[in-house]
Amino acid sequence: MKKLFKIGLIGLILIFFSACTDILNEEPTGILTTENVQNAYEGALTAAYSALGNDHYDKPLSLWPYGTVRSDDAYKGGSGEQDISTFHFFEISKNISTEFGEVDALWYQCYVSISRANSAIKAINAAENLTNKEAKIAEARFLRGHFYFLLKILFKNIPYIDETVPVADYGTISNVALSNDELWQKIADDFKYGVDHLPAKQMDRGRADKYAAAAYLAKTYLYKAYRQENSQSNEVTSINAADLNNVLTNADLVIASQYKLEYDFAFNFLPGSFENGSESIFAVQFSGDDGTKFGRVNFADLLSVPMKLGCCDFLKPSQTLVNAFRTQNGLPVFENYNTNNSGYSEQNDPRLFHTVALPGLAYKYNESLIYDVDWNRSPGTYGVYASLKENVDPTCDCFVPMVPFYANTKNRIVIRHADLLLMKAEALIELNRSAEALPIINSIRGRAKNSTDLIKYANDFIDIKLYQDGVNCNWTQDFARQALRWERRLELAMEGGRFFDLVRWGVAEQVMNEYYNTEKNRRSYYSEAKFTKNKHEYLPIPQQQIKFSKYLYKQNVGY
Amino acid sequence: MNEQRKIKSNVLRKLKLLGLFCSISLVLLAQNRTVTGTVISAEDNEPLIGVTVMVKGGTIGTVTNLDGEFSITLPTDNETLIFSMVGMKTLEVNTRNRTSINVLLESDTKVLEQMVVTGYTTQKKADLTGAVSVVNVDEIKKSAENNPIKSLQGRVAGMTVSADGNPSGSASIRIRGIGTLNNNDPLLIIDGVPTKGGMHELNSNDIESIQVLKDASAASIYGSRAGNGVIIITSKQGKIGKMRVDFDAYATATSYNNPLKVLNSKEYGQAMWQAAINGGSNPNNNNIGYRFDWNYDGEDGTPVLNNMFLPKYLDADKTMYSADTDWFDEVSRTGMIQSYNLSVSNGTEKGKYFLSLGYFENEGTIKFSKFDRISARVNSDYKLLDGLLTIGENFTLNRTSEVQSPGDVLDLSLKALPMVPVHTIDGIGWGGPSKGMNDRQNPVRLITYNKDNPYQYWRTFGNAFADLEPVKDLHFRTSFGVDYGNFFKRYMQRTYKSGFLSNTVSGVNLEQSHSMKWNWTNTAAYKKSIDKHSFDVLAGMEIFRQSDISFNAYTSGENAFTVETPEYMWPGVSTGKAQVGGGKTGYSLLSYFGKANYVYDDKYLASATIRYDGSSRFGKNNRFGTFPAVSFGWRISEENFMESAKSIVSDLKLRAGWGQTGNQEIDNYATYTIFVPDYGVADPTWSIVNGTAYDITGNGSGSLPAGFRKIQSGNDDLKWETTTQTNIGIDYALFDNKLYGSAEYYVKSTKDILIRPAYLAVVGEGGDRWSNGASMENKGFEVLLGYRNATIFGLEYDVTANISGFRNKVTHLPEDVQNSYGGREGDNILGRPIGSFYGYVADGIFKTQDEVNNHVGQDGKAIGRIRYKNVYEEDGRNEINAMDQTWIGNPYPDFSYGLNINLEYRNFDLSMFFQGVQGADIVNGVKYQTDFWSVDDVNSNKGRRLLDAFHPVTNPDSDIPMLQNTNSNNEGRFSTYYVEDGSYLKVRNVQFGYTLPKSVLSKINIEKIRFYISGQNLFTIHSKNFTGVDPESPGFGYPIPMISTLGINLTF
């Protein structure tokens, strides 16, 4: 008995020892492996598009802290200067550390998006029996171009990696491997590919078409034209005519397309059926009621909701911006426009009332919702204005509460037709063909003039006229340049591009220090603000990335 | 361990009973005086049976009977009696002219004969060759702690326990420093079943013994998972003998007696005024509504604040009066712990059982936070086939439930402004921030709503085993263990309005997860002694598998619930939208192991183990790892040449060991390249959701096309992380075991550390990749010293002290990430302790304009501001920039120590326990709030230290920077200003007990009644340099309360 028992037991153990290594073959659950996704190029492309809306208020792809707050258009806002202090330091051009987490995160987010585009290109390339391969690749390249463009205007010197570089070599590519102009050319190449291969019209409104690529290509050439040939400075050394001509070529392509100015300026900034309108050449598509937690909402810009309606009262139009809308005989007041220390002027460009929420007037055209001083969170610090373009009427379904924040699902336009027209006008003026720019600028002003249906309550404060050479102005190149830059400012105010315009034109230092000088009497925190030439035009390369690159990356000048 | 000694003495008693009859022959009939008496054990006051009582120098002797009594007739009046018994200290007593002598015999087995569980087997402590700490379970029971591991803080040299004061008692354990860059939790083995789960979920009253295996030679039998050390816990078993009933209960009051000192409404106004004045702005230009009556003082023009006023109402709608709320007071309370524990045990030669029931409830010091646990245990074993086969099981079922206080409640209590009322005027609505204030929640609302969101967790833990002994000392043992957890939580999200913060979306989330872990262990063990050689060998195999399934259901919408009560808010009645989630994951381990111990003549000891482990987490090529260990011991005190020194050196043993252990704490699917579709259902509120779904059609709503993204890059070459440890140790007992202790020195180096390093951003998404990257080294020492004795008048004392320390250093990192743990090229973390602080050096504050002018360029420098040191001058830039950071702190203490004092006098006992750490740098994060008006959030409340801030005229001696509205000097940058000395000495526990005398108890048929009172965390001594509240928990963790307990132990 005992013996049997023993033998049995030992036998059992022996069987056991040899038979159970199978248990280590764990099949992974709930994931996709490389094999699963090999031919799924469409999924990769969708993911690349999706990256357009994957952002957050402290690393916003709308670039509001960097393009608007850093310019003379807006104050940071929020509860106080320490509320996202990184943005405060950018606002006053001071204490800018190379180690700001927000800056590193934005850099990272852009490269995440670029990696999605590169993956999509690789997947499409690998796909067999695909008839419209070039068009698909062109979409992915468009997206890649977009994110490199953002990086370029923010950081100037960036490592450029496309789908041909093996991952193992990524670490060998420096941010100064390419010159300033070569980088612009790389970005232009992606959009050029789009112009050549994208269809004139996409069934899906969210996709980039030929004209989106052309518009973005024009924009790229415009930036490229203002050469910064000295790598040790950020000064504009020359303006390249060939580039400007490329701006014209591509702008004309778009002008001949289905895209045109909206009838009313306001339609660009209204939700629902107004989205993807005729002026919207390319827009980030947000959506609601789509099965995600809150909807794919515009997370970048949600902080600018006034305190009365939600949170957190960031991005406050500056008094200087409000004053810039002042008109005299229907034209801008180029000199001494910035004398009002509070409130708006008696005569203004109508776009003021579409752009800035002013105490006592309707909020987002809703006359039963009067914006007032007590909507503001810290009026003593940041004044009493709010930004309107990215916001929506809170009674709209598109206004999404997500405590403590309130977001909305309205699309964010990346390039609209008015922007493109002004780019063309700018190129013409710099090519010394100012006369041809005049009707373009007037078409923008004419539309603005007609955009009063929704702001009837402000009619008494509106006066806008077209430029008439020899009648109300002397349309020289210098005057035209001033008029163009002013027009850009008013038309595109608070849309995230002002600061980059200033840098492109090479006037950032002059404009910003003038602004600080004037505004320090209005906002005490500007008293120590000082813009340093050849430094503050660009963000520092994140120190973290310099370390990861084993010091291959070089810091930008001035930092 | 006391219990184990009792088993032994029980057996001894039986043997000696036999001896009683045999030894009668020793007793010579004598004509002289007879002495009678009783021999009892000093340990438990129980009578000792079978103690040999001999007249010194003669042949007369006897043994004690069943009641411990003896009677002996002496040849003369003045004889010396020798009382001896195996396992007890021999005692000599002079009879003089007494006829009755009662003797207390002390245990001699305390250290050496004690059986120690060392992994699949037990060993005599005397034969141990590895570094094993045996915990005195009685000591840990003195704290009113739910988690036994937590009360071990400071009691085991080389083991660090950190915990805040949360009611569940969860704690983190580190053995011998920081061994790896991933999970540092040690492995727990409870009755042979491995787990990394929390001990707070099990009933600590059921614990019989705890052993901490610290070095590799002891732990490597658990190979793959022993890299962070192993803690072996054995639960109580029934004892052969009579039925025993134990009842223990205590009630405890816990108090949050040391909250952070923050500003009240008036002080807040004062600080606000001062900040405005300092910056030259108008203090009345504030958004909250303070109105200041102030003027410049006549002669020197000093600004003087005469009076201040707050508006009656804070909000335009007039729903909130201006208040003066003490938020810390509002969120805290006197906590209450109750614990009841009942156990019944018995045993016969055929079998034993142990049953217990326990209830523990802790209402924490933060209002509404609560933890409770009901537990039941059955341990039993039966002998079959004439004792050849033993079968048995150890099982426990536990239900824990907890309301966890929101992690930021203390932070919010600090930040909530004092003028905000808890409730609106109607007493029902919630107060909250109004214009000009921060956007933080009312912490009272938060904890009140949170009280209905407890989790419930059922955990079944245990094993069933069979042990066959076909021939003597050959054991085949098989054990099947499970650790099953079932977690459920309902989280209710309610609508509210609280100042300008409001929520109209209500929702509920149900969350359920099942975690199943099972293991099957089969071992064969044999033990043999031949002459002076004795050896034991063990071979075995083990399979472990863990499988987790979880899912959740979430529904929410604008007023999705008609009634927002816990009774109503279930998903089925929601009118909102629904979302679900869920997944499964798991892994397996397969291991073979062997062990051999050899002892020659009780002098020379040797031990070797080997374990061959496979884990499903690694790729096929590197699935298995081998973890060997050897160790040797030399009991010098047993050598012949030591014979003469025996009176001084009772015991002396040298030990040396070397071994390797492993670590596999990575994701289950770490080797794979992983893509996932990410529809974007996660909560984007506080961090980015990298979704892959997009409204590409421009429809604006509806189901979205979804792509996928890479979240991990695979690594087929991933292999085990290996820790190699060398340990030398000495165990000693001197002066008749009165002075005892041990000392250890170890070198522990870990290589191929499993890390998922940060990567260059251009790599983009899915750059996360597990790899074997880093190496680290810990060198350390542990010293234990004890002294026990008794005074002539009967005061027994036992003092034990321990001290330990380690030096950690990173010895290797992949080149890419060498600079990402702080530091710069050429001056990085290599060679430094992991987690070292890197930042600026704050060099006091500028007190005069000259000092400001003489300093190098520093954006924002001014009088009253922090001066930063220009550390790196070689960059040739005469300014403070990122290069001027340096190494400014080491988070690990120079040494940690504990001191335990036990006193017993007659029926009274007193114990005191002190614990401390010395020389640890800590980051006092609270300082961002207590020392600055504008560094963190200018519209939040601040600490009272602000009132003592520097001012060139009124407070020129202060080192706290001047108040300012704008943080112009960027003083939030990490600098030495925030690094403080974290040394402390705490009185952890003082307990005073009284045991009713036997004479009283025998009448009521109760064996033992003991009452006690105790206090925990009674006071703390900390460094002057530390400006916070508790250096043990310098941030905003759950406060560590002071605890006062009243308790009773009953044995029937």
Note the pLDDT tens digit of each residue in A473-486.
999 999 999 999 99
Q: What is the residue type of A531? A: F
DSSP letter, residue B814? -
Do residues B707 and A43 make contact, with C-beta atoms less than 8 angstroms apart?
A: yes
Q: Is A298 on the interface with B (CB under 8 A)?
A: no
Kindly list the distances between the CA atom of residue B43 and the CA atoms of B88, B106, B143, B584, B901, in Å, as whole numbers in the listed order.
Answer: 10, 7, 21, 52, 17
Q: Which residue of B has its CA nearest to A171?
A: B760
Residues 189-208 of A with CB under 8 A from B: 204-207
Distance in angstroms (rounded) separating the CA atoms of residues B843 and B969 = 14
- Does B587 contact chain A (CB < 8 Å)? yes
Q: Which of B545, B676, B859 sits opposite A23 (nearest CB)?
A: B545
Distance, in Å, from the CA atom of A488 to the CA atom of A332, rounded to the nearest integer, reads 12
Outline where DSSP puts E strands in B406-448. Answer: none
Are A31 and B684 a contacting pair at CB < 8 A?
no
CA terminus-to-terminus distance, chain A = 87
Residue A323 has pLDDT above 90, yes or no: yes
Q: How confident is the model at residue B240, as a pLDDT?
A: 78
Surface of A (108-147) touching B: CB under 8 A: 108-109, 111-116, 118-119
Task: Test A17 with B592 for CB contact under 8 angstroms.
Answer: yes
Q: Tell if the CB–CB gap between B691 and A54 is shorter than 8 Å.
A: yes
Mean pLDDT value across residues B109-121: 68
Q: Categorize the per-residue pLDDT at B377 as very low, low, confident or very high, splitting at 50, 70 and 90.
A: very high
Cα of B618 to nearest chain A Cα, Å: 9
Omega within 30 of 0 (cis) for the link into A404: yes
Q: Which helix (H) or strand (E) holds A47?
A: helix A41-50
Query: According to the model, what pLDDT value does residue A532 have?
Result: 96
> What is the pLDDT at residue B687?
86
Strand partners, B502: B497
Best interface-test mutation with B: which of A174, A284, A547, A555 has the largest number of B CBs within 10 A? A547
Angle between helices A101-126 and A85-92 in degrees, nearest 10: 100
Chain B CB within 8 Å of residue A93 CB: no
Does B118 score more than 90 pLDDT? no
B286/A380 Cβ within 8 A: yes
pLDDT above 50 for A384 = yes
State the pLDDT at residue B14: 42
**Does position B10 have pLDDT exceeding 80, yes or no?**
no
pLDDT in tens, B495-537: 999 998 888 889 999 999 999 999 999 999 999 999 899 999 9
> Which A residues, 33 through 72, put their C-beta within 8 Å of a C-beta on chain B?
33-34, 36-37, 40, 42-56, 59
The share of chain A scoring above pLDDT 70, in percent, equals 96
> Among A49, A159, A380, whose Cβ lies nearest the Cβ of B762?
A159
Least confident of A1-5, B279-283, B321-325, B443-447: A1-5
| Phi and psi at residue B273, to the nearest 5° | -60, -45
Q: B645 CB contacts (<8 Å, ≥6 apart)?
A: none
**If you measure CA to CA, which chain A residue comes closest to B686?**
A56
Q: Which residues of B512-524 are buried (b: 16+ CB within 10 A; e: fewer)?
A: ebbbbbbbbbbbb
CB-closest option in B316, B588, B704 to A23: B588
For chain B, report the end-to-end CA distance as a whole number of angstroms.
Answer: 21
ipTM, two decimals, is 0.93
Task: Quickly state the pLDDT bin for B8 (edges 50, 70, 90).
Answer: very low
**Nearest residue, CB atoms, B590 vs list A21, A285, A542:** A21
C-beta separation of A195 from A214 below 8 A: yes
Can you tell me the mean pLDDT for A252-280? 97
Residues A427-444 have a mean pLDDT of 98
B595-641 pLDDT, tens digit per residue, is 999 999 889 999 999 999 999 999 878 899 999 999 999 999 988 88
A47: which 2 tokens?
A: 């993911």
Residue type, B218: A
pLDDT at residue number B113: 62
B4 pLDDT higher than 70: no
Instruction: Tell whether the model's pLDDT for residue A12 goes beyond 80.
Output: no
Helix and strand numbers (H, E) in chain B are 10, 53
Taking an 8 Å cut-off on Cβ atoms, the answer to whether B675 and A33 are in contact is yes
What is the C-alpha to C-alpha distance for residues A133 and A130, in angstroms, rounded to an integer?
Answer: 6
pLDDT, tens digit, 9 for 90 and up, residues B733-761: 998 888 999 999 999 999 999 988 889 99
Q: Is B148 exposed, middle or buried (CB count within 10 Å of its CB: 0-12, 13-18, 19+)?
A: buried
CA angle (B552 as vertex; B548, B556 as ends), nearest 5: 165
Q: Using CA atoms, how far apart are residues B1000 and B1009, in angstroms rounded to an integer? A: 10
Tell me the shortest Cα–Cα distance from A171 to chain B, in angstroms: 7
CB contact under 8 A, A46 and B934: no
For B32, half-sphere exposure in the C-beta direction (CA atoms, 13 angstrom radius) is: 13
pLDDT higher than threshold 90 for residue B435: no
Question: Does residue B594 belong to the interface with chain A, where contact is any CB pair within 8 Å?
Answer: no
Shortest CA gap A547–chain B (Å): 6
Place of tokens 């059986």: B115
Question: Cβ of A32 and B708 within 8 Å?
Answer: yes
Q: Structure tokens of A191?
A: 């959009």
DSSP assignments along A118-171, one per residue = HHHHHHHHH-SS-TTHHHHHHHHHHHHHHHHHHHHHHHSS-----TTS-GGGGG
Chain B (921-940) residues lying within 8 Å, Cβ to Cβ, of chain A: 934-939
Chain A, nearest residue to B622 by Cα: A24
Find out whether the peptide bond into A398 is cis, omega within 30 degrees of 0: no
Report the distance separating Cα A285 and Cα A54, nearest Å. 11
Q: Is A82 on the interface with B (CB under 8 A)?
A: yes
The C-alpha of B611 sits at a distance from chain A's nearest C-alpha, in angstroms, of 14
Mean pLDDT of A62-81: 95
- Mean of per-residue pLDDT scores for chain B: 88
3-state secondary structure at position B338: strand
Interface test with A, best of B623, B760, B771 (most A CBs within 10 A): B760
Name the one residue in this structure whose structure tokens are 């515009």: A298
Q: Per-residue pLDDT averaged across B350-367, rounded?
A: 94
